[in-house]
Amino acid sequence: MFALSVIAASNLMPRQNPAASSVHPGPHRGLRAVTRPGSTPPRAALVARGAMDETGIMNETQADTAIARAGGLYLGGRRLAFLDRARIYACGITPYDVTHLGHAATFVWVDTLARTLRLLGVEPEICRNVTDVDDVLDAAAHRAGEPYDAFAAVQQYYFDRDMAALNVRDVQHEPRAHRYVDQVIRLADGLLAAGSAYVRRGSVYFRGDSAVRDAGLDRDGALRLSAEYGGRPEDPAKDDPLDVAVWQAGEQGHPAWDSPWGQGRPGWHAECAAMALSVFCSGVDVHAGGADLRFPHHAYHAAMAEAFTGVRPYARAWLHAGTVRVGGAKMAKSAGNLVLVRDLVEGHPAAAVRLMILDRPWSEDWDYSPALLDRAGKRLEELYRAAGRTRTAPAAVAETGRLLTADLNVPAAVDLAIEEGGAAARNATAVLGLN
């Protein structure tokens, strides 16, 4: 369906722009439309569809209506239809360190998804959690000599500051894990009642076979990822190494709460599942997060939610933003290669940082380099210059919007906006949050 929608879009594109090609080479160029010999000329095609009258006049309101009628959003190659609301769960931060470019990229994509939904007349409702009960956070707070919650609150402040700099809008729900402990206990109770969990030595474990099966992983691969992401496969209390704690029995050096199984704390995947179900009841339209969260975190989150509610699938679609690397290596504090948002926006327009993040397919892994940011800055200038032009082929406004609804195809939308200029460029600038 995605390929078809892109080909259909190609008929509306007036011409290729060699200059645009030279400033922005890359794999997404393959998505760029090519007007085929003998295909319907752009204006005639729009007139035939009733999207424009013979004079070519279509104002921006009409353009928006045309986009809304196009019917839905294509995400990850599948069409999602909405009436007027969309539930989006964005797996949020663990506030133990400053925001790096890899974190920021996910939330900029979620913000762009939300802005694109508004183009369709759909009001997005975003829940972006804060994982402030977490073993990694505990360790960082301990090193800093601060209580975990005070430490998390300070880190949260820096995160909010970086998001504001990148023009990421405030979200509707921002649950913090430490306030959802009762919901995790209810989740654990429900999973026990459903026969999907069991109690051992003060912990409640969720049976992981369904999560591993749905993720399509073999056992060895699942065990390796489980160990890498704190799943404790070696824990002898478990029936199976791939089971995970919904409720973890109390341990020295970690916060603890009372529960029917004794003192303890929520498991990571269970926290997110409890927050998502508490805010959205039985499931979500889009679940978003970094690609590295696909397994185990999102797989177990979805499996727990489905076992608890009996509603499948928990998520209609997933948006796993590609991993940001430096010189081919994943960004990590231990590797000393973190690229911080704060540093980038000090030396460059924040809109250029935002465009650098967005000017690619959202699921693609990519390498940050200063040259890439410089290129994004030049492309932003081109877009702003184009926005200052007075003439616009009216259908181009609708077409830039339509390209965004086609799997958030930012590169093609920006190419077209630069090419056509005027209202098309102003519209693209606003929708992409580059103003």
What distance in Å separates the CA atoms of residue 384 and residue 390, rounded to the nearest whole number? Answer: 12
Own/partner long-range contacts of 76-81 (Cβ < 8 Å, ≥24 apart):
76/317, 76/318, 76/319, 76/363, 76/407, 77/1, 77/2, 77/407, 78/1, 78/2, 78/317, 79/1, 80/285, 80/286, 80/316, 80/317
Minimum distance, C-beta of residue 287 to Zn ion, in the bound complex (Å): 8
> In this complex, which beta carbon is closest to Zn ion, that of residue 131 or of residue 400?
131
Angle at 5 between CA 102 and CA 290, to 5 degrees: 15
32 or 301, CB closer to Zn ion? 301
Q: Binding pattern to Zn ion, positions 216-255, x when CB under 5 A?
A: ----------------------------------------
Q: Which residue has the tokens 């045309």?
A: 66
**Contact assessment for residue 75 and residue 319, using Cβ atoms and an 8 Å cutoff:** yes
CB 13 within 8 A of CB 416: yes
Q: Which is nearer to Zn ion, 175 or 411 (CB)?
A: 175
Residue closer to Zn ion by CB (options 301, 379) is: 301
Q: Does 272 bind Zn ion (CB under 5 A)?
A: yes
As measured in angstroms, the least distance from the Cβ of 156 to Zn ion is: 16
* Smaller CB separation from Zn ion, 9 or 315: 315
* Alpha-carbon distances of 235 from 59, 296, 297, 308, rounded to whole Å: 64, 16, 18, 24
Name the minimum Å distance from CB 410 to Zn ion: 25
Total Cβ atoms within 10 A of residue 435: 11
Q: What are the phi and psi torsion angles at 130 (to 5°)?
A: -120, 120
Helix (H/G/I), strand (E/B), else coil: 195: coil
- Closest residue to Zn ion, judged by C-beta, is 272
Bridge partners, 290 (sequence order) = 321
CB of 289 to Zn ion, least distance (A): 6
Tokens representing 415 are: 């190419």
Amino acid identity of residue 407, one-letter, is: D
Does 33 help bind Zn ion (rule: CB under 5 A)? no
**With binding defined as CB under 5 A, does residue 304 bind Zn ion?**
no
> In whole angstroms, how close is the CB of 275 to Zn ion at the nearest point?
8
Residues contacting residue 396 through CB under 8 Å, at least 6 positions apart: 14, 416, 417, 420, 422, 423, 424
Taking the mean position of all CA atoms in its chain, how far away is CA 72?
18
Contacting range for Zn ion; rule: CB under 5 A; set: 229-237, 264-272, 364-372, 398-406: 264-272
Name which of 297 and 375 has its Cβ closer to Zn ion: 297
Minimum gap (Å) between residue 129 Cβ and Zn ion: 6
Q: Which amino acid is at 214?
A: D
Closer residue to Zn ion (CB): 74 or 96: 96
User: Nearest CA to 417 among 367, 353, 358?
Assistant: 358
Does 105 bind Zn ion (CB under 5 A)? Our answer is: no
Residue number with CB closer to Zn ion (134 or 419): 134
Sole window of 270-278, 326-334, 335-343, 421-429 interacting with Zn ion (rule: CB under 5 A): 270-278
Q: Which stretch binds Zn ion (CB under 5 A): 24-32, 136-144, 266-274, 328-336?
A: 266-274
Contact between residue 63 and residue 394 where contact means Cβ atoms under 8 Å apart: yes
Taking residues 369 to 408 in sequence order and writing x for each that binds Zn ion by CB under 5 A, - otherwise, the string is: ----------------------------------------
Give the total of residues touching Zn ion (CB under 5 A). Answer: 2
For residue 71, the one-letter residue type is G
d(CA 11, CA 38): 10
**Bridge-based pairing state of the strands 324-326 and 366-368:** parallel
Q: Could you give phi then psi for residue 129, rounded to 5 degrees? A: -80, 165
Choose one: 13-21, 85-93, 180-188, 345-353; the region binding Zn ion (CB under 5 A). 85-93
* Residue span binding Zn ion (CB under 5 A) among the ranges 27-35, 109-117, 183-191, 265-273: 265-273
Q: Burial-class residue 76 by CB neighbours within 10 Å (0-12, 13-18, 19+).
A: middle
Judged by CB under 5 A, the stretch of 22-30, 38-46, 89-97, 357-365 that binds Zn ion is 89-97
- Six token digits for residue 362: 């959202």
CB closer to Zn ion out of 181 and 413: 181
Closest CB to Zn ion among 91 and 104?
91
Q: Is 91 in the site for Zn ion (CB under 5 A)?
A: yes
Question: Looking at 12-20, 83-91, 382-390, 412-420, which segment touches Zn ion (CB under 5 A)?
Answer: 83-91
User: What is the binding site for Zn ion (CB under 5 A)?
Assistant: 91, 272
